Amino acid sequence: MKRAELIQNIKIRCGGDMSEFRDKSEKRIYVTVKKEILPKIAAYLFNEVKARFSTASGVDTRENVEILYHFSVDDIGLIVSLRVVLDKSDLEVESLVSLMKAADWIEREIHELLGVNFKGHSNLKKHFLLKDDWPEGDYPLRRDK
């Protein structure tokens, strides 16, 4: 798929639920979407475009927590970073594990380090990276203290 066509398709599928589109460079685009349509756009990229799920980055921007899902469209060398902005009072987003197995570990990681709840993920209780007796509710990458 051509770059312009892909961008067009993403924009059509997002409709009014896209709050920002940034064409940073030839090989990098950033799309901020409402969290309600995240599964739909991720499914489009993963299943239809056959983009590879590289990873997700959880970021505490002090005001909010952002998650960027980086998809690599390998045939054109483009990284599409799908961003959802979560309010700190409602840190919950749909899990993408049922869509792609590759999201399993990174969701557990973001849950543990930033306290985001991934709705529908079956294995968020057990500690992933931190030690087993790490205190409940203490998220190392949060910057709100």
Beta carbons within 10 angstroms of residue 21's beta carbon: 14
Q: How far is the CB of 9 from another protein (least distance, A)?
A: 19
C-beta of 11 vs 101, nearer to another protein:
101
What pairing do the DSSP bridges indicate for beta strands 28-33 and 78-87?
parallel
Nearer to another protein by Cβ, of 15 and 30: the residue is 30
The closest of 87, 100, 119, 10 to 56, measured between CA atoms, is 100
Residue type, 9: N
The nearer residue to another protein, 37 or 58, going by C-beta atoms, is 58
User: What is the closest distance, in whole angstroms, from the C-beta atom of residue 55 to another protein in the complex?
Assistant: 4
Min. distance of Cβ 129 from another protein in angstroms? 4
Q: Which residues bind another protein (CB under 8 A)?
A: 25, 27-28, 30, 50, 52-55, 57-60, 68, 70, 72, 74-75, 77, 79, 81, 100-102, 104-106, 127-130, 140-141
The helix/strand/coil state of 96 is coil
Cα–Cα–Cα angle for 135, 86, 28, rounded to 5 degrees: 110
Q: Which two tokens stand for residue 121?
A: 């993920």
| Residues paired with residue 57 on neighbouring β-strands, in sequence order | 68
CB of 57 to another protein, least distance (A): 4
What is the rounded CA–CA span in Å between residue 46 and residue 12? 17
Identify which of residues 10 and 71 has a Cβ nearer to another protein in the complex: 71
Indicate the residue among 9 and 54 with the shorter CB distance to another protein.
Answer: 54
| Least distance (Å) between residue 47 CB and another protein | 9
